[in-house]
Amino acid sequence: MSYLEKEILGCFLKDNTLLKETVINKSHFAEEQNKIVYESMMKLAQDNKAVDQVTLLSTNYDYIQQLGGPDFITKLEMTGDVEHFESYEREFIDQFKQRESERIIKSWLSKSDKDNQELISELQQLDDVGFSDEPDKNETLKDMHDEPYHEKKETGTPSGLSDLDSLTGGFQNQNSYVMGARPSMGKTATMLKFALSAAQNDKVPLMFSLEMSEKSLLRRLIATVGNINLFLTKNPNKLIESKKEQWKKAVNALYTLDFEIYDKPMQTIQYIRSKIRKAKKKHEGKQIIVLIDYMTLINNAGTFHSDHAKVSDISARLKAMAKEYDCPVITLAQLSRGVESRQDKRPMLSDIRESGSIEQDADMVMFLYRDSYYNQENPDDELEVIVAKHRDGPTGSVKVYYNKATGKMGDLH
């Protein structure tokens, strides 16, 4: 139990901002020395001071021996993984509730005059500790009262494709989007188009790439912005002079935009959540949009009886993440080979691997289809975006311009 308390304190040392977000308070700790350290951490945070080894040692100078000497605080920084803080926090609160419920029951049993209602009431109050939610629909209705008389602001993050935005309304906060396609259809190019459009509209796209490196994605962005053949960007020193100038201009243009790329392999939902949380603080006041490439590569370490159950859990967590962080979450998905066996190879909802839960959780499901991939006589610069599910609006499809060589996309008209 003491070890988990140290993990929690270690996380606070590594990321001071967690102190202002946590539902934990001093009474939740079992160990007295951990209570002292936590209390001094909170005091430093409230005074807008850094919480580190130096400030903790100086703040707790009178209690150093009681804490176990200076090594106690020095070792704290070696414990705890910030990526897993939310799971630590839940387990920590659960342990506190378990201890308290045992104490309440023991106290009740020791009384000669046992009041059952009093016991139930105390246990119910304990259950509300930490993660209780107190919705008030009247407050929400009050905010909505005059909506018909206010000019509606466009709240969706633009995709950069106006025909698609006319159908979807842009990417909405708290919504989970799934975009599926067979290989070579342009998934990565489309994701980068969405990210580039968001950044150019003063949003902050966070790209979680579980397959491609940061440098590979940046090369693709340079090719798109600079209108350079993607193959040639692998050896930029061999570009002709005019293309070298376009390369430099593209790099400078990207340098001015706010976006982040995370290419660590085996990323987990906890890792993604921790990066979103940090980005929201770093880019305070700006809209975040999350793009993940791709769903089945997300590492889910839980115990599941099937791949379907594993993907279902990831799908539900992506939707929860969109709601909790009030941002759109766009996740790329692989499609099954069943598409190839049909005469009409346009994807359908049933083509998504482990489709049931993904279809249920997603607010919108989009597919990409290039007819020229199967029929070479058809135009090679068209990409069809099929909106197969739209929880709050129409379905349909739009055709957009797509240059395979550069990854450049836009409206056909």
Interval 128-145 mean pLDDT: 66
Please indicate, yes or no, whether residues 118 and 200 belong to a single structural domain of this protein: no
Own/partner pairs for 256-261, CB < 8 Å, 24+ apart? 257/196, 257/199, 257/200, 258/199, 258/202, 258/204, 258/283, 258/286, 259/195, 259/198, 259/199, 259/204, 259/205, 259/206, 259/207, 260/204, 260/205, 260/206, 260/207, 261/207, 261/209, 261/214, 261/217, 261/218
The distance of Cα 232 from the centroid of its chain, to the nearest Å, equals 33
Lowest mean pLDDT across 66-70, 239-243, 325-329, 367-371: 66-70
| Measured CA distances, 311 to 87, 284, 291, 331, 381 (Å) | 19, 32, 17, 12, 34
Average pLDDT over every residue of 101-115? 83
Q: The domain that contains 122 carries what CATH number?
A: 1.10.860.10
Of 127, 148, 180, the domain-final residue: 127
Per-residue model confidence (pLDDT) at position 220: 94
Kindly state the greatest CA–CA separation across the chain.
Answer: 93
Q: What does the pLDDT look like over 138-166, one tens digit per residue? A: 777 777 777 777 765 657 899 999 999 99
pLDDT of residue 388: 92
Q: pLDDT tier at 136 (50, 70, 90 boundaries)?
A: low
| CB count in 10 Å sphere of residue 367 | 26
Do 89 and 238 share a structural domain?
Answer: no
Amino acid 164: pLDDT: 94
Are both 365 and 256 inside the same structural domain?
yes
Same domain, 198 and 82: no
Q: What pLDDT, in 10s, does the model give residues 326-344?
A: 999 999 988 888 788 888 8
> Are 76 and 173 in the same domain?
no
- Range scoring the smallest mean pLDDT among 54-58, 59-63, 66-70: 66-70
Q: Which domain holds residue 192?
A: 162-411
Residues 378, 258 share a domain: yes
Q: Is residue 74 part of a domain?
A: yes
Identify the band that residue 1 occupies on the pLDDT scale cut at 50, 70 and 90.
very low
Check whether residue 26 and residue 84 sit in a common domain: yes
Exposed/middle/buried for 34, CB within 10 Å: 0-12, 13-18, 19+?
buried
In this predicted structure, the answer to whether residue 128 has a pLDDT above a threshold of 70 is: no
Q: What is the pTM of this model?
A: 0.74
Inter-residue contact 385 to 346 (CB < 8 Å): no
Q: Are residues 184 and 123 both part of a single domain?
A: no
- Burial category of 160 from C-beta neighbours within 10 Å (exposed 0-12, middle 13-18, buried 19 and up): buried
